Structure 1
Amino acid sequence: VIQGIHQIERLPIGFRAQMIVGNNFFETLDEESVQLVSTAWATSQRTEECESFIVDYRQDEKQHTVQGRFVPGAEGEWLCLLQDQSALFSCEQQAFELEFKDAATGIANEKQLLSELGSRLRECRDTNTHTAIIRFSATDLRSFEATIGRGGMVKLAQAIVERLEIGLESYLTRLQAETLRPSHLIARLCDSDYVVVLSGLDSFEFIEELATLLLRRLSTSIDLDEHICGIDWTAGIADTLDAPPTTDGLLSATAYAIYSDCALPNGYRVHRYNSDLKARVHHDIEIERLLRRDIADGVLEMHYQPKFDLSDLSLIGMEALIRWNNAELGFISPAKFIPIAEKSGLIISLSHLVVEKVLDQIAAWRDEGYKSVPTSINISGIHLNTRTIVEELRAGIQQRRIPPELVELEVTESIMVDGVGKAFKNLNELRDMGIRVAIDDFGTGYSSLSYLKDLPADCLKIDRSFVQSITSDPTAEAIARAIITVGHDVNMHVIAEGVETAEELNKLAELGCDSVQGYFTGRPVSSFEFTSFFEGARLAG
Structure 2
Amino acid sequence: MREKRVVNLVLRTYSLICGNSNEINEFVEQHHLSAEKHVLLQMFTCFADEQFIQDIRNKIIEQIPQAIIMNMPIDKVQKNEAVIANNVMITCTVFSNVSQISTILSLSEKDEMNSFLTLSNSIYKSLHDIEAFYEKKAEEKVACIAYFDAETGLPNRLHFTNQVEDFVQRFSKKKKHHKLAVLFIDLDRFKMINDTVGHYAGDIILKQLAKRIQGLLPKKSFLARFSGDKFTILITEDVEVEKIADLGQTLLHDIARPIMYEAREFFLTGSIGVSFYPNDGITTELLFKHADTAMNLAKQQGGNKMKFYSTEMNQQVLYRLELEGYLRKALEKNEFHICFQPLIDLSSGEVYGSEALIRWEHPKLGLVSPGEFIPLAEETGLIHEIGKWVLKEACQENKKWHDMGYDYLTISVNVSADQFQQISFIDVVKEVLDETGLPPQFLTLELTEGVMLRNISHSVIVMKELQKLGVKVSIDDFGTGYSSLSYLKDLPINTLKIDRSFINNLKVNTTDIAIVKAIITMGHGLAVKVVAEGVETDEQIELLKELQCHYAQGFYIDRPMKSEEFEKGLAKLKAL
Going from structure 1 to structure 2, the CA distance change for 1:249 and 1:396 (only over 3 Å counts) comes to same
2:168 is the counterpart of 1:131? no
Given candidates 262, 273, 286, the residue that maps to 1:236 is 273
Question: Matched residue pairs, number?
Answer: 437
**One-letter code aligned to 2:394:** V
1:12-55, Cα deviation, whole Å (9 max, x unpaired): xxxxxxxxxxxxxxxxxxxxxxxxxxxxxxxxxxxxxxxxxxxx
- Following TM superposition, by how much is the alpha carbon of 1:254 offset from its aligned partner in structure 2, in angstroms? 1.7
Going from structure 1 to structure 2, the CA distance change for 1:486 and 1:94 (only over 3 Å counts) comes to closer
Identity score, percent: 28
- Following TM superposition, by how much is the alpha carbon of 1:355 offset from its aligned partner in structure 2, in angstroms? 0.6
- Following TM superposition, by how much is the alpha carbon of 1:507 offset from its aligned partner in structure 2, in angstroms? 3.1
2:190 is the counterpart of 1:120? no
Equivalence for 1:73: none
Given candidates 247, 258, 267, the residue that maps to 2:295 is 258
Aligned residues of 1:307 and 1:517 also touching (Cα < 8 A):
yes
Given candidates 245, 248, 252, the residue that maps to 2:282 is 245
2:148 is the counterpart of 1:102? yes
Going from structure 1 to structure 2, the CA distance change for 1:148 and 1:390 (only over 3 Å counts) comes to closer
Going from structure 1 to structure 2, the CA distance change for 1:505 and 1:107 (only over 3 Å counts) comes to closer
- Following TM superposition, by how much is the alpha carbon of 1:274 offset from its aligned partner in structure 2, in angstroms? 1.9
Aligned residues of 1:156 and 1:224 also touching (Cα < 8 A):
no
**Structure whose alpha-carbon radius of gyration is higher:** 2
Aligned residues of 2:498 and 2:519 also touching (Cα < 8 A):
yes
- Following TM superposition, by how much is the alpha carbon of 1:531 offset from its aligned partner in structure 2, in angstroms? 0.8
Distance in 2 of aligned mates of 1:202 and 1:384 = 45
Equivalence for 1:303: 339
1:352-397, Cα deviation, whole Å (9 max, x unpaired): 1211211222233345555551111111233222222222111211
Aligned pairs for 1:79-478 (under 5 A) are: 97=143, 101-102=147-148, 110-111=157-158, 113-126=160-173, 127=175, 128-137=177-186, 140=190, 147=200, 156=207, 160=210, 164=214, 168=217, 171-172=218-219, 189-190=226-227, 193-199=230-236, 204-212=241-249, 234-261=271-298, 269-368=305-404, 370-415=406-451, 420-445=456-481, 454-478=490-514
**One-letter code aligned to 2:181:** A
Distance in 2 of aligned mates of 1:398 and 1:516 = 30
* Partner secondary structure for residue 244 of structure 1: coil
In structure 2, stretches of 5+ residues that fail to align are 1-77, 79-131
Aligned residues of 2:345 and 2:551 also touching (Cα < 8 A):
yes
Distance in 2 of aligned mates of 1:457 and 1:229 = 25
1:184-233, Cα deviation, whole Å (9 max, x unpaired): 65555446555443458785553333455567777788999999999865
**One-letter code aligned to 1:131:** L
101-110 vs 243-252, greater mean Cα deviation: 101-110
Aligned residues of 2:493 and 2:528 also touching (Cα < 8 A):
yes
Distance in 1 of aligned mates of 2:424 and 2:138 = 55
- Following TM superposition, by how much is the alpha carbon of 1:432 offset from its aligned partner in structure 2, in angstroms? 1.6
* Partner secondary structure for residue 535 of structure 1: helix
**One-letter code aligned to 2:342:** P
Give TM-score scaled by structure 2 length: 0.62
Aligned residues of 2:531 and 2:551 also touching (Cα < 8 A):
yes
Aligned residues of 1:263 and 1:269 also touching (Cα < 8 A):
no
- Following TM superposition, by how much is the alpha carbon of 1:326 offset from its aligned partner in structure 2, in angstroms? 1.9
Distance in 1 of aligned mates of 2:263 and 2:409 = 57
Give TM-score scaled by structure 1 length: 0.66
Distance in 2 of aligned mates of 1:486 and 1:216 = 32
- Following TM superposition, by how much is the alpha carbon of 1:320 offset from its aligned partner in structure 2, in angstroms? 0.8
- Following TM superposition, by how much is the alpha carbon of 1:137 offset from its aligned partner in structure 2, in angstroms? 4.5
Aligned residues of 2:503 and 2:532 also touching (Cα < 8 A):
yes
1:70-115, Cα deviation, whole Å (9 max, x unpaired): xxxxxxxxxxxxxxxx99xx89996995797437589765445445
Aligned residues of 1:260 and 1:281 also touching (Cα < 8 A):
no
- Following TM superposition, by how much is the alpha carbon of 1:279 offset from its aligned partner in structure 2, in angstroms? 2.7
- Following TM superposition, by how much is the alpha carbon of 1:149 offset from its aligned partner in structure 2, in angstroms? 11
Distance in 1 of aligned mates of 2:261 and 2:456 = 28
Distance in 2 of aligned mates of 1:347 and 1:315 = 30
Aligned residues of 1:411 and 1:438 also touching (Cα < 8 A):
yes
Going from structure 1 to structure 2, the CA distance change for 1:359 and 1:209 (only over 3 Å counts) comes to same
- Following TM superposition, by how much is the alpha carbon of 1:487 offset from its aligned partner in structure 2, in angstroms? 3.1
- Following TM superposition, by how much is the alpha carbon of 1:121 offset from its aligned partner in structure 2, in angstroms? 2.7
Equivalence for 1:517: 553
- Following TM superposition, by how much is the alpha carbon of 1:122 offset from its aligned partner in structure 2, in angstroms? 4.0
* Partner secondary structure for residue 457 of structure 1: coil
Distance in 2 of aligned mates of 1:406 and 1:145 = 36
Distance in 1 of aligned mates of 2:154 and 2:519 = 56
Aligned pairs for 1:474-493 (under 5 A) are: 474-493=510-529
In structure 1, stretches of 5+ residues that fail to align are 1-9, 11-85, 173-182
2:566 is the counterpart of 1:530? yes
Distance in 2 of aligned mates of 1:362 and 1:420 = 31
Equivalence for 2:543: 507
Aligned residues of 1:132 and 1:199 also touching (Cα < 8 A):
yes
Distance in 1 of aligned mates of 2:355 and 2:202 = 48
Going from structure 1 to structure 2, the CA distance change for 1:429 and 1:223 (only over 3 Å counts) comes to closer
